[in-house]
Amino acid sequence: MNIILLGAPGSGKGTEGNLISKNYNIPTISTGDIFRENIKNKTELGVVVEKLMNNGQLVPDDLVVSLIKDRLNCDDVKNGFILDGFPRTVAQAQALKEIAKIDKVILIDVDYEITEQRILSRRVCPVCKSVYNTMTYSKDICDKCGASLITRKDDNKETVKKRFDVYVNQTNPVIDFYENENLLYKVDGNLSPDTVYSEIDKILQK
C-alpha cells in the first residue's frame, strides 16, 4: 500500500507514520529526515536546505522530486511506503503521479494553536528518530534507544508561524488535487495520537 500523509507542521505526521510503518511493515519516507541528515553531514544539499528551513521556506520542487524518485527505487519500498512531508505543492503531486501509484492520501487536519504548542514542546531522538513531547514525556533520553533527546533548530515560535503560513498557501492546493483524484481522507488531528491512529487504521482497512 502506497500512502501519503498530509498535514501542517506539528500535526502528528511523524508519530502516525511511525505507527503505520510498524503495523503495516512498510517504510516511512520523510523528506524532513532526509534534509536534516544532509544538514548534519554538512553536504552541499544540506547547506542550501538549512538556509531555506531557517527562513521557513520550502525546498524547490525539482530538488525534492529528484530525492524522492531515488528513494522510491530502493528495495525496501516494494511492498509499499508512507510519504511524510511530500508532496507539498501541486507540481510535486503531479510529478509523483508519474513516479508511483498512490492508494490513499490521509490529511491530518489540526488547528494552528495545537501545532504551535506541539512543536515548541517537541523533542526528537537523533539516532532512532523517535518523537517525544515535554507535555507528556519528562525524560531527557530516548525511551527506545537511550540517546539524548534534542530540539530541532527550526522548532521555534517565529519559524513555526512561517512554516504554517507556507503550508496553508502552498499545500492547500495539494489537498484539492487529491480530493479531485478521489484519494483524500481527513482525520481530526486535534485528538490524541492513539485516537488519530485508530481513525487512520479504519481508513487503511477499507
DSSP state of 57: P
Choosing from 118, 123, 129, 163, the catalytic residue is 163
| CA–CA dist 144, 6 (Å, integer) | 26
Count of beta carbons in the 10 Å neighbourhood of residue 39: 20
Report the distance separating Cα 44 and Cα 19, nearest Å.
32
Q: Give the Cα separation of 202 and 93 in Å (integer).
A: 25
DSSP state at residue 123 = E
Catalytic: which of 36, 118, 122, 129? 122
Tell me which of 88, 118, 123, 129 is the catalytic residue.
88
C-alpha cell at 205: 482497512
- Clarify whether 122 is annotated catalytic: yes
Helix (H) or strand (E) holding 25: none
Q: Which of 152, 161, 162, 186 is catalytic?
A: 152
Whether 88 is a known active-site residue: answer yes
Just list the catalytic residues.
13, 88, 122, 152, 163
